[in-house]
């Protein structure tokens, strides 16, 4: 239940002083941003309690309406309800991921099961479900968007158990509450493991092989952790991955890699394996209560793929050529090890190091040669310019916007005619208070039901900060991540719908990655790189020879990258297809067996091993759905071909269709219909295989 503008007043049992700025009906800050500096951790729990009470009263009034059920008094009323709860939750959960502290963690542990019970009470409310079921779209002459909202509500209620017997409903509510507790614990355990590890580099020998940019980032990480060591490597991906690439100390690479891949399974209070066993068991039980063979069958029944078989077919179709390619890559890397006079077998902690050496040999390309041409500000400018050329957007950086951390930057986003689109926040640097990874979220979503509500979208990254006064330089993978998340941001910013339920990224899980992955394509275009890949000191463009070598190496090491990702997706699906829903699941044994059955190369690890697989265990979002990145890649590779076929990567008519049917359409249509409206047909897998260099 989402909403955008005031509905009821706050619960009078809670004093305004208890909830601080959440007592205000409208924030008068620039662009209506939350007044972060005025919000204290102590405000959240009372604000949640007041908002929950208000929302419960609103739901009771809708369910208890005595007149005939109509779209307006039932569905629209649901869409207008919950404004206070949305506002508190959007601020709290954005900060609990990007800038947490012990007080926020305690609130998170307390509130997540209560929110789950609140949601269950709504979706399992028999009187409310009866009214939703009674709305007659034909008699009311509902339009397409209204029918879509009604259909999505009915689908949500059924999938939440609205048609179950009373005792099954009770069990569904218990499962939801416990799952919320487990997901929160999983996330907090993972953050604790990531924060607890630091590999000190205390001598020049320890720093062997590290280029200047990585030494500087390791020094900044050490300073942030109190400066007890001159340089440290943390488990932030922006530090650990380049360390594995460049360090010539094989013993230190092994130590760092072991810590990175064993997050969540180190024993003690932060070990996630017991939580995973219970999560899988509860998911399987929930699916059985709803009449599905497995959680995977339940999850995929409401996706573009439609079934686990279709998703697994795609994964297998990519796995086979990737496996062959990875084997060839491994042989070339092993030969390089032997050519250096070593007699060890290539190990998981060696692959990135020797792959970089092979890339230099085969493509005359060194990552440290590329990074000076990819300063963070330059890549941000490239992402903005691409949006301007595709969609006519303008970005104006704001100096006076409230921020939840000094690192955060803010831009007002406008259309070419000057009309407001929304607000974009960028939070780019790694810190101990932030969970790992990169993501897009919203402090406020677009809608028109409650007025012309403009979105406030945030991108959160974990780039390694350069020392004060120095430019932060990105790897090409970092730059791709920025473009990816900005694609998600555009999906939220360009949303053009009436009803909150359909806004922005609220689409099928295997469709939501299309806007983000498609946007990555523009980063790799010579036209974009020539304009924006400029040396951070001289401003000179990337030399044409380096540009050609960079683009020629796009499919280098793709066997490894595809195996790393696809193995994670297969383990995720296998886990949620299996009958491993009983207590006592041996997580490590299950993972090992699943990998053995697909002949996982010994020299490659899953991109996300099960004990730290936050995508699928911090919540249900990507559970039995990690395949969706590959499913969406089929779409994005085919979609970018539309621009190639038009002969212009910024082709105006193609870009207009893209905005109307993909970036701006939210969940107005079934995803297959939306893609067909843009492309004129459903996609082919062939562009994906060419894109990854896996075509026969």
Count of CB atoms situated within 10 Å of the CB of 103: 13
How far CA 444 is from CA of 422, 425, 509, 595, in Å, comes to: 9, 12, 20, 41
- The residues spanned by each domain of the chain are 16-123+125-163, 197-262, 269-365+557-626, 372-502+523-552
What CATH class is the domain 269-365+557-626? mainly alpha
Going by the DSSP 8-state scheme, the letter that residue 534 receives in this structure is: B
Question: If you write DSSP's letter for every residue of 479-511 in order, what string do you get?
Answer: HHHHHHHHHHHHHHHT---SSGGG-TT-S-TTT
Q: Closest Cα partner for 507 from 615, 382, 632?
A: 632
Residue 239, pLDDT score: 94
pLDDT at 580: 52
**16-123+125-163, what's its fold?**
1.10.1370
Sequence-distant (≥ 6) Cβ neighbours of residue 12 within 8 angstroms: none
Q: Encoding tokens for residue 384?
A: 């903005």
Backbone angles phi, psi at 505, to 5 degrees: -85, 10
Query: Cα separation of 186 and 632, whole Å?
Result: 27
485 is catalytic: yes
Tell me, what's the pLDDT at 13?
Answer: 47
Chunked into runs of 10 residues, the chain (696 residues) has average pLDDT values of: 34 64 91 96 97 98 97 98 96 97 96 97 98 98 98 98 98 97 97 95 97 92 86 94 97 98 96 96 96 96 96 96 97 97 97 96 91 97 98 96 97 97 97 93 97 97 91 95 98 98 97 97 97 97 96 94 98 88 80 97 97 96 96 96 97 98 98 97 91 82
628-646 vs 308-339: helix axis angle to the nearest 10? 80
626 — phi, psi (to 5°)?
Answer: -65, -20
Domain 372-502+523-552: top CATH class: mainly alpha
In whole angstroms, what is the distance from residue 541 CA to residue 532 CA?
Answer: 7
Q: Give CA–CA dist 175/283, Å, rounded.
A: 8
* Among 108, 447, 485, 564, the one annotated catalytic: 485
Which residues are registered as beta bridge partners of 394? 414
CA dihedral 20, 25, 27, 28 (to 10 degrees): -120
Q: Compute the radius of gyration of the chain from its Cα atoms.
A: 25
Give 329's contacts (C-beta < 8 A, 6+ positions apart).
355, 557, 559, 560
Confirm whether 16-123+125-163 and 372-502+523-552 share one CATH topology.
yes
Please, what is the angle between helix 628-646 and helix 513-523, to 10°? 50
* pLDDT at residue 583, rounded to an integer: 57
Query: DSSP assignment, residue 579?
Result: S
- Cβ atoms of residues 348 and 665 within 8 Å: no
């Amino acid at each position: 239940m989402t909403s955008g503008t005031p509905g009821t007043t706050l619960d009078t049992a809670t004093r305004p002083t208890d909830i601080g700025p959440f007592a205000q009906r409208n924030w008068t800050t620039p662009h209506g941003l939350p007044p972060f500096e005025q919000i204290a951790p102590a405000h959240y729990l009372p604000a949640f309690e007041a908002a929950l009470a208000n929302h419960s009263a609103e739901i009771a009034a809708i369910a208890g309406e005595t007149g005939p059920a109509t779209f307006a008094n039932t569905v629209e009323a649901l869409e207008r309800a919950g404004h206070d709860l949305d506002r508190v939750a959007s601020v709290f959960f954005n900060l609990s991921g990007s800038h947490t502290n012990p007080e926020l963690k305690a609130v998170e542990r307390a509130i997540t099961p209560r929110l789950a019970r609140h949601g269950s009470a709504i979706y399992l409310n028999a009187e409310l479900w009866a009214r939703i079921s009674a709305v007659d779209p034909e008699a009311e002459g509902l339009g397409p968007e209204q029918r879509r909202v009604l259909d999505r509500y009915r689908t949500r209620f059924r999938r939440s158990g609205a048609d179950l017997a009373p005792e099954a409903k009770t069990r569904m509510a218990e499962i939801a509450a416990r799952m919320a507790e487990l997901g929160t614990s999983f996330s907090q355990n993972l953050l604790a493991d990531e924060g607890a590890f630091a590999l000190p580099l205390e001598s020049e020998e320890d720093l062997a092989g590290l280029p200047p940019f990585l030494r500087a980032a390791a020094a900044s990480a050490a300073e942030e952790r109190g400066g007890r060591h001159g340089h440290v490597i943390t488990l932030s991906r922006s530090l650990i991955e380049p360390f594995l690439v460049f360090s010539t100390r094989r013993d230190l690479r092994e130590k760092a890699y072991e810590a990175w891949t064993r997050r969540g399974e180190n024993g003690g209070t932060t070990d996630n394996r017991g939580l995973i066993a219970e999560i899988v068991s509860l998911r399987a039980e929930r699916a059985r209560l709803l009449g599905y063979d497995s959680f995977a069958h339940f999850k995929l029944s409401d996706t573009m793929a439609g079934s686990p078989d279709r998703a697994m077919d795609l994964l297998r179709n990519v796995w086979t050529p990737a496996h062959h390619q990875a084997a060839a890559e491994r042989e070339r890397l092993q030969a390089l090890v032997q050519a250096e006079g070593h007699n060890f077998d290539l190990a998981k902690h060696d692959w990135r190091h020797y792959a970089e050496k092979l890339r230099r040999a085969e493509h005359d390309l060194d990552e440290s040669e590329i990074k000076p041409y990819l300063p963070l500000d330059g890549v941000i400018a490239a992402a903005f310019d691409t949006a301007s050329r595709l969609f006519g957007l303008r970005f104006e950086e704001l100096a006076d916007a409230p921020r939840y951390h000094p690192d955060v930057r803010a831009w007002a986003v406008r259309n070419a005619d000057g009309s407001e689109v929304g607000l974009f926040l960028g939070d780019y640097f790694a810190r101990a208070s932030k969970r790992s990874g990169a993501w897009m979220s919203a402090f406020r979503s677009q809608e028109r039901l409650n007025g012309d509500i403009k979105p406030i979208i945030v991108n959160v990254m974990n780039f390694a900060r350069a020392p004060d006064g120095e430019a932060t330089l990105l790897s090409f993978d970092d730059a791709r991540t920025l473009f990816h998340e900005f694609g998600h941001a555009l999906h939220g910013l360009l949303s053009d719908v009436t009803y909150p339920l359909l806004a922005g990224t609220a689409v099928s899980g295997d469709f939501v990655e299309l806007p983000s992955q498609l946007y990555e394509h523009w980063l790799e275009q010579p036209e974009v790189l020539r304009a924006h890949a400029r040396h951070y000191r001289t401003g000179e463009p990337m030399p044409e020879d380096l540009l050609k070598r960079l683009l020629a190496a796009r499919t280098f090491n793709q066997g490894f990258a595809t195996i790393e990702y696809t193995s994670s997706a297969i383990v995720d699906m296998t886990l949620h297809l299996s009958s491993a829903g009983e207590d006592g699941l041996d997580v490590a044994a299950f993972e090992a067996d699943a990998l053995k059955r697909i002949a996982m190369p010994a020299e490659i690890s899953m991109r996300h091993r099960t004990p730290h697989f936050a995508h699928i265990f911090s919540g249900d979002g990507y559970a039995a759905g990690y395949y969706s990145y590959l499913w969406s890649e089929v779409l994005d590779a085919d979609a970018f071909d539309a621009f190639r076929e038009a002969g212009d990567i910024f082709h105006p008519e193609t870009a207009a269709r893209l905005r109307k049917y993909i970036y701006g359409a939210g969940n107005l249509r079934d995803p297959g219909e939306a893609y067909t409206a843009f492309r004129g047909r459903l996609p082919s897998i062939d562009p994906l295989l060419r894109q990854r260099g896996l075509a026969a």
